[in-house]
Structure 1
Amino acid sequence: MTAQRVLELGRAAGLRVATAESCTGGMVAAALTDIAGSSAVVDCGFVTYSNDAKQAMLGVSSDTLARFGAVSEEVAREMALGALAHSRADVAVSITGIAGPGGSEHKPEGRVCFARARRGGACTAETVEFGALGRAKVRAAARDHALDLLATAISETDQ
């Protein structure tokens, strides 16, 4: 899915989007706002790289962070819901992961957790194992996957 297509879907549905990004550092918001006219669809983007930022800007629970770690579907869900709670967006996507280099046996490089949420609707999360592709490729793959999730969330809302 391209950023252009996400914007077309959002415009057609009359919906606004928000992003909550950690390992991608704003790449999803940048892909969307690189396109002229994106202000009709993009409400805001949160870059919450640190756990403190996730808590302060998105309301992620310190208990959730301590229990599951920043790279978890639970944190991704709270990030997406927090983006909706702290914006005027109708749809949000979140990304938290280990772009590399590094990782551990339990949380390897290339593991990225995503969530998509609709205001007044469902919030779903998933984990994608991109593998040790290298930092730039993991981040690009995560950006592209998040754009796909935004398109899906917009389409679900428009039914």
Structure 2
Amino acid sequence: MTDMNQIAQQVADRLTARQTKVVFAESCTAGLVAASLASIPGISQWLCGSVVTYRESMKIAWLGVSPADLQRFTAVSQTVTDQMADGVLRRTEDADIAAAVTGHLGPNAPPQLDGAVFVSIARRAADGTLAVQSTRHQLKATGRIDRQREAVDCVFSELLNALADADD
């Protein structure tokens, strides 16, 4: 795992360099992504906020996630994470990019999803359309707190990648 303060600073620097505003939709990290970025002085110029939707009902009500997709794919899926990123960006008009994260940190996770985290990045194009890209990560940490921190690293890494690709 990287130092969260260091990678948060890298994200803040990249947001500043790109003049890009970000918003988050968090589930398994319960706001730790936004809190980590908010520790950087001056980030309020680029951080729009974060929606913590730990429960499925909140994903539906606050982000517009499809109840049918939640039932079919579960909350820990690429489909739902994509909808979280899309939903939070559509609802945050001044944001340029969104990152969403959901995962199973344990205990009692299904074996195939234990330590699995999905991260989706949504970008707003000049014409107003949204493009979403997703990745699945298998966390190495075993403890819940360590897994939350590792998931934050995953979100920040994917966000840095997306911001690096912004000019391509």
Shorter-chain TM-score range: over 0.9
- 2:132 corresponds to 1:127: no
Measure the CA separation in 2 of the matches of 1:34 and 1:132. Answer: 24
The match for 1:33 is: 38
Partners of 1:91 and 1:153 within 8 A in 2: no
Gaps of 5+ in 1: none
Question: 1:111 aligned to 105, 113, 116, which one?
Answer: 116
Equivalent residue, structure 2, for 1:79: 84
| Residue equivalent to 1:142 | 151
The alignment's TM-score, normalised by the length of structure 2, stands at 0.89
- Show structure 2 runs of 5+ residues with no match: 1-5
Bigger drift between 147-156 and 34-43 goes to 147-156
Identity of aligned residues (%): 37
Q: CA contact under 8 A between 1:18 and 1:84: conserved in structure 2?
A: yes
Q: Which amino acid letter does the alignment assign opposite residue 162 of structure 2?
A: A
- Count the aligned residue pairs: 158
**Equivalence for 1:155:** 164
Paired residues for 1:54-93 under 5 Å: 54-87=59-92, 88-93=94-99
What letter matches 2:144 in structure 1? R
How far apart in 2 are the matches of 1:49 and 1:158?
Answer: 34
Deviation readout 1:16-42 (Å, 9 max, x if unpaired)? 001110000001000110111011110
Q: Deviations over 1:29-64 (max 9, x none)?
A: 001101110111101111000001111111111111
TM-score by length of 1: 0.93
2:102 is the alignment partner of 1:102? no
The Cα of 1:104 is off from its aligned counterpart by 1.3
Counterpart amino acid of residue 36 in structure 1: P
CA contact (8 A) 1:118 1:157 kept: no
Contact 1:117 1:153 in 2 (8 A): no
Superposition RMSD on alpha carbons, in Å? 1.4
Residue 11 of structure 2 aligns with which residue? 6
Moved more, 115-124 or 13-22: 115-124
